[in-house]
Amino acid sequence: MTKLFSLLVNYSNGIFMLAFFGLVCVGLIAAVFMLMYGDKKKKE
C-alpha cells in the first residue's frame, strides 16, 4: 500500500500516466467515431 501511495505522490510519474491515459481515451473515442461514421455507405 505504501508503494502505491508513493507512486501517487510522485507527480512527474503521475502527470505522465495521466497524459498517457488521456491519449488512450482520445484514441479510443476517435476509433469509435470512425467506425460509426465511416461504415455508412450510400445505398443506391
User: What are 1-44's pLDDT values in tens digits?
Assistant: 556 666 556 667 778 888 999 999 999 999 999 998 887 665 55
Residue 22 C-alpha cell reads as 488521456
What letters, b where the CB count within 10 A reaches 16 and e where it falls short, cover 3-23? eeeeeeeeeeeeeeeeeeeee
What pLDDT, on the 0 to 100 scale, is given for residue 5? Answer: 60
What pLDDT, on the 0 to 100 scale, is given for residue 17? Answer: 86
What pLDDT, on the 0 to 100 scale, is given for residue 22? Answer: 95
Q: Please list the alpha-helical segments (H only) found in the chain.
A: 2-9, 11-38
The CA distance from 23 to 21, in Å, is 5
What pLDDT, on the 0 to 100 scale, is given for residue 24? Answer: 97
What pLDDT, on the 0 to 100 scale, is given for residue 32? Answer: 94
What pLDDT, on the 0 to 100 scale, is given for residue 38? Answer: 81
Q: How far is CA 39 from CA 4, 42, 43, in A?
A: 43, 10, 12
